[in-house]
Amino acid sequence: MTHKQWTEVDRYITDLLVPPDPVLNATLQASDAVGLPPHNVSPNQGKLLMLLALIHRARTILEIGTLGGYSTIWLARALPTDGRLITLESNPQHAEVARENIARAGLADIVQVRLGPAIDTLSQLATEGQHPFDLIFIDADKPSNPEYFAWALKLSRRGSLIIADNVVRNGAVIEANSVDPNVQGVRRFNELLSAETRVSATAIQTVGSKGYDGFAIAVVTSDN
């Protein structure tokens, strides 16, 4: 099995189940045009995020790692009109592109892009009392995943869903002695998930146009 085949099957799935969407296409085009890296989730993954938020009837969503707002738009589309999504981004150019994309998607009223290192903006959110969030999507710098998980728990309630992208990393996640700080961040995150008595969690390997990777998903099972 090759990346080419995974990509072709992703296309097959997307052609059937993820209808062409001018707003999402424009989001990717605008992001690409100014040189943002193509690190957004794939269309069928984006739709999975939207479906999870819908199944969960999420009204408040926190995203860590905005990029051009592609996953943001998918998630925000699951929200009711009085819902809200806060997304955290440290790169000013990414945040600017995301704000334009989110406005084009008609979601500016319910989505707020917060510029700054997530460690700082997470602590601001806690101080402001913006929590709890019904769903938290962790998808920023992987070395910080352990800290982001700790914040996700603080900003949760019983029943909150915590989802993390990129937890398999082409299989490198099993390399205990990896010198890759991304791998070590994800390994530490997975270990925290394992040890944390306040969540019930699993992880799923994925293949597709984004290569071989995976999602972790956790439900907060106790009142914090």
Binding piece for Mg ion, criterion CB under 5 A, among 79-87, 89-97, 117-125, 133-141? 133-141
> What is the contact mask toward ligand SAH in residues 6 to 25, using x (rule: CB under 6 A)?
--------------------
63 binds Mg ion (CB under 5 A): no
Name the H helices within the chain.
3-17, 22-33, 43-55, 70-76, 92-104, 118-128, 145-154, 181-195
Is residue 168 helix, strand or coil?
coil
Q: Pick the closer one to ligand DHB by CB: 61 or 131.
A: 61
Q: Pick the closer one to Mg ion by CB: 100 or 165.
A: 165
Q: How far apart are CA 188 and CA 72, in angstroms?
A: 26
Sign of the dihedral through C-alpha 26, 30, 35, 41:
negative
Q: Which residues bind ligand DHB (CB under 6 A)?
A: 39, 139, 165-166
Q: What is the CA radius of gyration of the chain?
A: 17
Is residue 19 helix, strand or coil?
coil
Q: How far apart are CA 66 and CA 50, in angstroms?
A: 15
Q: Pick the closer one to ligand SAH by CB: 114 or 187.
A: 114
Q: Pick the closer one to ligand SAH by CB: 54 or 174.
A: 54
- 41: exposed, middle or buried (C-beta count within 10 Å: 0-12, 13-18, 19+)? buried
> What is the contact mask toward ligand SAH in residues 97 to 136, using x (rule: CB under 6 A)?
--------------------xx------------------
State the nearest-atom distance from the C-beta of 101 to ligand SAH, in Å. 10
Half-sphere exposure of 11 (CA within 13 A, CB side): 6
- Would you say 134 and 60 are in contact if contact means Cβ atoms under 8 Å apart? yes
Size of the site for ligand SAH (CB under 6 A): 19
Single out the residue of 10, 100, 134, 139 in contact with ligand SAH (rule: CB under 6 A). 139
Q: Pick the closer one to ligand SAH by CB: 117 or 211.
A: 117
- Which residues bind to ligand SAH, rule: CB under 6 A? 39-41, 65-67, 70-71, 88-91, 94, 117-118, 139-141, 144
In the complex, the residues that contact Mg ion under the rule CB under 5 A are 139, 165-166
